[in-house]
Amino acid sequence: MTLSKRLVLGGLLGVLVAGCSGTWATDYSDAIAPATSRNWRVVALDIVVPGTLTVSEEDVYRPNADIVWRDDPPGDRHAQVKAIVETAARRGTAGLRGSRPVRLSVTMAEFHALSDISRLRLSHAGVHNIKFTAQVSDARTGAVLAGPEEIRADLPAYTGMDAIRAERRGETQKKRITDHLARVFAGWLGAGPDDVRGAFQRLGR
């Protein structure tokens, strides 16, 4: 069987076995006004990936878990997710250089990327489902300045030939998700040039 036929068959199999077509989104209730956040300077990041979040290493189309992550070697998936989110948060807050020191606290609720079989065999399908709660507080007094805010940061995944071409360009799952989260943090904090909120239709988890 040719590669193209395997990809088509895998895509059909994924439709039957794996996902549900629905609306996904990057969303939060409202962005923080730049007039407010420009006076902030993030001096502390608290990224929490609760130990209660379940992890799956099953190579099935729809792993039933809170964390599905395969773009790092096998290991502590909670720690790997924390590292990704922390890197993204540092980048997303880099534009805040004000005089008031603040703490950004993030608690993850879901980090569901793709299993290997989904990434290889689906075609034009698949979603990275990411959810977390974020809060900004004064680093000296602890006073809450924004949040807690529930944030969705869903992202269309690359699968099949799209994934292969992306890898060749250096766009790994980790790079795409990190870049996306950095924009989400900057957008919510009023520290970026764009409003990244939006919805999309796609066969996903």
Domain boundary assignment for the chain: 3-204
Among 40-44, 107-111, 118-122, 123-127, which is the least confidently predicted range?
Answer: 123-127
3-204: CATH architecture = 3-Layer(aba) Sandwich (3.40)
Q: What is the mean pLDDT of residues 154-179?
A: 94
Please give the model's pTM, rounded to 2 decimal places: 0.87
Tokens linked to 158: 């690359």
pLDDT at residue 199, as a whole number: 85
Answer whether residue 1 shows pLDDT above 80: no
- Which residues are bridge partners to 79 per DSSP? none
The residue type at 163: A
Return d(Cα 158, Cα 17) in angstroms, integer. 18
